[in-house]
Amino acid sequence: MSLPIQKNVPLQTLNTFGLPSSARYFASITSDEDLRAGLQFAAERNLDTLILGGGSNLLLTRDVDALVLHMVGRGVRVVSDDGEQVVIEAEAGEPWHPFVLDTLARGLVGLENLSLIPGTVGASPIQNIGAYGVELKDVFEGLDAWDRHEGRIRSLDAGDCAFGYRDSRFKREPGRWIVLRVRFRLHRHAGLRLEYGAIRQWLKQDGIDSPTAQDVSRAVCAIRREKLPDPAVLGNAGSFFKNPVVDSAVAASLQSAHPGIVIYPQADGSVKLAAGWLIEQAGWKAHREGDAGVHALQALVLVNHGAAHGEDILLLARRIQASVAERFGVVLEIEPSVL
C-alpha cells in the first residue's frame, strides 16, 4: 500500500483543546486516492475510523482505538466566474481562516463575517458554521463527499445537506460521509451583513463609514480576539454549547422571570437564547476545577489551563448543563463532537 500508516501517534497537538490522546493507527490524507487506501486498510483489519480536520470541534476523552484519517489535502480553484458571481472550490484540508482571507484578497464578498473561525474547510458544512448573522448555508454552492454507504464520491447541493442551526445531514448521519471539497458562491458587489451591533460599533470607532468586506473581516477578527481565547495560548474549542432555541411562549416566560435574559427572535417565530448569558447567570463564568475551566471573558467557552484531560472538561460541562437546567429549565447541547 502506498499510503503510509503510522502506529500510536499522539494527537495532543492535533486538537485545539490540547488534550492528551493517541491514535492506534494514523494516516495523512492528501487525495481521494489516499482516502480510498485508508478506508481499505481499515476494512481489511475491521478497524473503526475517525476523520480529523483541524481538531477544533472535538473533545477527546480517551485514546482512539481506530485509524485516524487526517484530512490535509490543500488547494483552491475558481469553478466559474460570470463577472459578478464566483463559485470557488477548496479542498477539505484548507485551513478555514486563511481560505477566507484568500477570497477577500480576490475581491469576493460573502465569507467576511465568518473570519477567524478555527478549523478547516472540510469541517465547515458539517456544523454549518455561523457567526455575526451569517451561516455557511448562505454562501454554500455544493460539495463532494465520500459516501461510505454507497462506496463512491457523491456531489451534494444545499438541499441534499439539510442544513440547520449548527446542524446538517452529516451530523445526523455520523460515520456515513467524508467531505472532500466544498464549493462556495460568492459575489463581487454584494451587500454586507452589518446587523450585529458589535460590528457597526467597531467600524464606527475606527472611523469607517463605507466599509468593505475586508473592513468587516477585520472588525470580526478584532471582536473575536477580544472575546475568545487563542487556542495556541489557552486550549479550547470555541463555543462549547449551542445557543438553545425555544418557542415564543417559553421565551416570554423566561423574560418575565429573568428580565435581563439575552434573546434573538428567529424568522420562524422561535427564539434563540444566549447560552453564554445563561451560564454566566448560573455562576460559572471564570470557574475552574483543576485545569478544566470556563473562560473569564466568555462563559460559553470551556478551556484547558494546561494539564486537563478530556474527562475533566466533559465532567465540568455536565455540571454546567445540570445547573442551567435547574435554574432556567433549559437544556444546553454540547457543540463539539465528544469521543
* pLDDT at residue number 202: 93
CATH class of 76-187: alpha beta
Instruction: Report the share of the chain in percent with pLDDT over 70.
Output: 100
Q: Which CATH class is domain 6-71?
A: alpha beta
Is 264 in a helix, a strand, or coil? strand
For the stretch 68-109, pLDDT in tens is: 999 999 999 999 999 999 999 999 999 999 999 999 999 999
The contacts of residue 124 (CB under 8 Å, 6+ apart) are: 96, 117, 136, 182
CATH number of 235-338: 3.90.78.10
Residue 81: what are its φ and ψ, rounded to 5°? -155, 110
pLDDT digits (tens, 9 = 90+) for 194-217: 987 789 999 999 899 999 999 999
Q: Are the beta carbons of 88 and 184 closer than 8 angstroms?
A: yes
Q: Which residue has the cell 478530556?
A: 310
- Going through the chain in order, the beta strands assigned E by DSSP cover 6-10, 22-29, 49-52, 58-59, 64-71, 76-81, 85-91, 130-131, 134-135, 140-147, 152-156, 177-187, 235-239, 245-246, 263-265, 271-273, 288-289, 292-294, 301-304, 337-338
Q: Where are the domains of the chain?
A: 6-71, 76-187, 235-338
Q: How far apart are CA 241 and CA 275, in angstroms?
A: 7
Q: What is the pLDDT of residue 140?
A: 98
Residues belonging to the active site: 166, 239, 335
pLDDT at 196: 78
Task: Tell me the torsion sign for CA atoms 168, 174, 177, 181.
Answer: positive
* Rounded average pLDDT over 55-78: 96
Predicted local distance difference test score (pLDDT) of residue 197:
75
**pLDDT value at 10 more than 90:** yes
Query: Taking the CB of residue 160, how many other CB atoms lie within 10 A of it?
Result: 14
Exposure string for 206-215, b = 16+ CB within 10 A, e = fewer: eeeeebebeb
The 10s digit of each residue's pLDDT in 166-183 is: 889 999 998 899 999 999
**Residue 188, number of CB atoms within 10 A of its CB:** 15
Q: Which three cell numbers stand for residue 133?
A: 448573522
